[in-house]
Amino acid sequence: AKEHGVVLAEAMTIYHMPIYKELKKRMDAGKFGELRVIQMNFGSYKEYDMKNRFFNRNLAGGALLDIGVYALSFVRMFLNSCPDQITSQVKLAPTGVDEQAGILLMNREQEMATVTLSLHAKQPKRGMISFDKAYVEMYEYPRGQKAVITYTEDGHTEEIVAGATADALGYEVEDMEQAIAGHPELMKLELTEDVMKMMTRIRKDWGLTYPEEERATEKI
């Protein structure tokens, strides 16, 4: 995409939802103070059907690639740089894919993030961004539309609503059209690359590979 000047679009609506653009604008203006830590949860309860895509290694199953990509994309959108320190714990399903994981990340600014994922234990899709002057809570964050901000000095709260969950893909299309018109930064390619790097590093730490990777290695 970079080499040919092509716009890259992916199904990561987090980068395009109005609520996150509004929060980023306030964050960059210093309204919340310095970023300290981000906490992300995402858990689904899937029956142990080892033939479906969630647990199928041939279909790149597992919590990290299925639901973790949303949590990591949220984290990367708000961190000032990509994490360069990553540690994690994983519980594997009988098929060898990751069923449950806890991930701890920190970047060069020493901003930290924790991510908890599960495919066999329901959790709320909850994100919390903690600054030294406020913290922000989000629910249903993959296509969020509402945030609650608590200001730590006096404890007062503010609720902001921007955009609508139902229009999530429409916001991405609008940004893609603007990117084609001369604003490619709206598609967040650099964030996508960072998320891919994080997921690859985490999988390597777990020793988790997929059949396509194994065949490619054998050819080499």
Nearest alpha carbon to residue 35 among 87, 75, 62: 75
Which CATH code fits 13-203? 3.30.360.10
Neighbours of 114 (CB within 10 A): 16
pTM, entire model: 0.91
CA distance 63 to 117: 6
Instruction: Tell me the DSSP string of 116-169.
Output: EEESEEEEEEEEEEEESSEEEEEESGGG--EEEEEETTT--EEEEE-S-GGGHH
CA distance 43 to 122: 5
| Per-residue pLDDT tens listing for the chain (220 residues) | 778 877 777 779 999 999 999 999 999 999 999 999 999 999 999 988 878 889 998 888 999 999 999 999 999 999 999 999 999 999 999 989 999 999 999 999 999 999 999 999 999 999 999 999 999 999 999 999 999 999 999 999 999 999 999 999 999 999 999 988 988 888 898 999 999 999 999 999 999 988 877 666 666 6
Nearest alpha carbon to residue 31 among 129, 171, 168, 162: 129
Cβ pair 87, 104 in contact under 8 A? yes
CA distance 129 to 78: 8
